[in-house]
Structure 1
Amino acid sequence: MARMLRIQWKPTGNEAYDRLLGQFVERVARYARGGSIQTRVRKYERYRAFLRFLAAQFGPQDIRNIQPRHVAAYIAHRRRAGVQEKTILAELSIIRWWHNQIPWRKYEMPDNKTLFELEERLDDKTFSEEVRYRYKITHTRRKRLISKSGGPVRESLPAGR
């Protein structure tokens, strides 16, 4: 049986980063399954760097709002910092793994080819919106995701919709 990841976080004074990190720890990281505790801790440490960047550049209100363009901007940031492609690919793997753990996320994460193309075309609003729309999770897509995971389909939509 997989154990809960016991991690603590302390506020840093950066409101956006503290909000994202708090949501991540409380809603996602503690309940994530897959791999050993040590592996999840390493992934957690690497993902925090992405959250720090996200808070500084975009400041989303909710961790569920992470979009493909946020990841593409992080790729561009890492390239400017001189990080090798192999390291960026490893970081994308970690970002994708944690992103899939986020309950009720609003966007799927595209494949690497799409992310790299989006990185090159970040200034192209039309392309950015097209990718955003293509990977937005709709109620129909959410039903499919839940039914594939073996969960009950009737719980996929909030009451009253």
Structure 2
Amino acid sequence: MSAKSEQHSKISALKTGADDYITKPFDLEEVAARIDSVLRRYRRLPQTLANSPALLQHKDLALDPEAKTARAGGVQLSLTAREYDILALLLSNPKKLFAKANLFESVWGEDYLGGGENVVNVHISNLRNKLARANPEEEYIETIWGMGYRLKS
């Protein structure tokens, strides 16, 4: 609930994870109906999904979304929040090719206005270095020149 009724406020809240958005003044019956709607969707989720997110895996790389931990080659990785989010996005969509703009908007939650390319490059480079230190025998992220990044098969 918010007193902010501007469209950009609503869009920003929904893009950053809000399930719904309602502005003041509001009707109590409408709020109750919206809450019931969210609860119905939640109850339809399989209990394993609702209670504990599944481990994300690729090769010998594993992310635990609940504990926010990552392991590669049996070695615990020390990742920043952005590095973890990038890896989680890639592991959640193992066959998808992510353009830099797509990665930036998905992980940073902001519009890509052309300035985020270097930010993405630096984070991918740092992530690759950490993965290589954990398991030098494996390559996890591949660059498709001129297009973006994806998990390496």
What TM-score, normalized by structure 1, do the two folds share?
0.37
Higher strand share: 2
> Rg: which structure is higher?
2
What TM-score, normalized by structure 2, do the two folds share?
0.39
